[in-house]
Amino acid sequence: MYRKERLGAADDGATSFTSSLDSDEWIFDADLLVDRAHLVMLAEQGLVGREGAAEIADALDAVGEEGFSSLAGEDVHEAIEARVVELVGEEGGRLHTARSRNDEVATCIRLAARGDVLRLMNELIAARGRLLDTASESVDTLIPAYTHLQRAQPTTLAHHLSAHERRLARDSGRLFDVMERLNRSPLGGCAAASTTLPIDRERTSELLGFEGPVENSMDAVSARDFATELLFVCSSVMEALSRLAEEVVLWSSSEFGVMELDDGFATTSSVMPQKKNPDVAELVRARAATVQGHLQAALSIVSGIPLSYNRDLQELTPHLSDSLRVAARSARVLSRAVESAEFREPGMELEVGATDLAEALVERGVPFREAHARVGRLSRTGFGTEDAVDALGDRLTRGEVGEALDFHRSVELRVNGGPGSAEELLDLGRRDLKSHGDALREIEGGIDRAYSRLEEVLAEL
Ligand code: ARG
């Protein structure tokens, strides 16, 4: 449609090479919203007559009903406009007044990303809730805490799962931060340097539920740091989930014996009938790599281009949509796999209590370095209670040795963020979950109100 007068017919290969239609479905609904808000503003500013505007609004509804699959064109923007002109006639050509595909696509991506960010926020909150629920049932389940993947100190499953919840809580926080910069409207930036026509950028911003316009029109059309920042947060979410996934893989092995996945979350082998495999966790681990690759690709794409809009930017969009989708799905499926699994205590050899034993010596006045050395010597060959009593009897009674190596007692004593504070950590998690949930409802409410208002003004055209 655009090229007819200036360039004539395009080469088929070049058209399919440059087209973004295959990946534009993600912004189809957003584009219709952007069109509607822009149309309302044009009508209010007297740039399109009321009657024409109402006809265009009806045509946009029809395009929505016909659906994305019936569109044809270089990209979703051209395809929608072409269909509107087809339905309305020449007057339909007024829709693209005072805008370009450059500000249009930037606005569409922000809207679609905003919807997906809200979805991801909800999934993260739900996933954290599942981790907290599972943790609440396992405050007394003893497992070893590992460092260097060697058994380090006794802890509880509740304490361990709370660590994952705390980690994901920070990604929820990061998403709220990103939202402040993401939720701004590029619309009205036009191709790059704005328009001579009397538009109202505040109005379109408000109708689309944005916090306000991106001030500089050139920045509005060219910036994708909202996307790269968001891709970092998706990568961060995937990093956190991947570490949990790695533990699910280890824990569900007979070597670790900490967890038995629910059959519904496991897969089997085509040849080995006994197999029960943790493929869900393995795929979360692999997709973390993919999402982190998307971040790198997006940064490299934007880094190479001068201001303002360049077609390179089109190539960035699928990296963002894919990452948002993968992060939300991963959070959901992995947390459900953990929630539905059965956990058991793997049992721990007494040496896992070596630090507790050294600390018992400290309580009896022994300098820590000496206590460390004495228990270190004892640990060379592994030890039982009798060996410990024999070696440390000058300082500790049999009862004190027994107490130090009583893992249930030792986890209770280790407060200060340790397993003895698990209940407080879980409460903290629940409080954060509530405040994040409340803040999320508020953002969603604001957007819903803006969209209802948009519907009202459209109906009045
Ligand atoms: N499909 C394009 C994209 O995603 C839309 C913008 C095209 N603008 C242009 N000046 N060619 O970036």
pLDDT at 5: 85
pTM: 0.97
Q: Cβ(101) to ligand 1 under 6 A?
A: yes
Q: What is the mean pLDDT of each run of 10 residues along the chain (461 residues)?
A: 87 92 97 98 98 98 98 95 97 97 98 98 98 98 98 98 98 98 98 98 98 98 98 98 98 97 96 95 98 98 97 98 98 98 97 97 98 97 95 97 97 98 98 98 98 97 91
Q: What is the pLDDT of residue 81?
A: 97
Distance 329 CA to ligand 1 centre (A): 29
* Residue 24 CA, ligand 1 centroid: distance in Å: 11
Evaluate whether 31 touches 77 at the Cβ level (below 8 Å): yes
Q: Probe ligand 1: pick from 3, 75, 80, 315, max atoms within 8 Å of CB?
A: 75
| Torsional class of 152: left (φ above 0), alpha (ψ -120 to 50), beta (otherwise) | alpha
Nearest-CA residue for atom 7 of ligand 1 = 101
Beta strands in 313-446 (DSSP E): 342-343
Q: Which atom of ligand 1 is nearest to the CA of 20?
A: 1
- CA of 290 relative to ligand 1 center, distance in Å: 25
269 classed as catalytic: yes
Ligand 1 pocket residue status of 15, Cβ below 6 Å: no
Q: Of residues 70, 253, 269, 300, which has the active-site annotation?
A: 269
Q: Is 203 in contact with 44 (CB distance < 8 Å)?
A: yes
Contact criterion met (CB below 8 Å) for 333 and 284: yes
Q: What is the pLDDT of residue 360?
A: 98
Answer whether 311 contacts ligand 1 (Cβ < 6 A): yes
The shares of helix, strand and coil residues in the chain, as percent rounded to the nearest 5, are 70, 5, 25
Report how far ligand 1's centroid is from the alpha carbon of 314 (Å). 6
SS (H, E, C) 198-249: CCCHHHHHHHCCCCCECCCHHHHHHCCHHHHHHHHHHHHHHHHHHHHHHHHH
Q: Is 102 in the pocket of ligand 1 (CB under 6 A)?
A: yes
Ligand 1 in reach of 317 Cβ (< 6 A): yes
- For residue 446, the model assigns a pLDDT of 98
Residue 251: per-residue pLDDT = 98
Could you give the CA distance from residue 56 to residue 51 in angstroms, rounded to a whole number? 9
Tokens 């704005």, located at residue: 194
Domains of the chain (ranges, CATH numbers): 20-97 (1.10.275.10), 103-128+167-348 (1.20.200.10), 350-406 (1.10.40)
* Catalytic pick among 148, 270, 303, 452: 148
The confidence score (pLDDT) of residue 283 equals: 98
* Cβ of 75 below 6 Å from ligand 1: yes
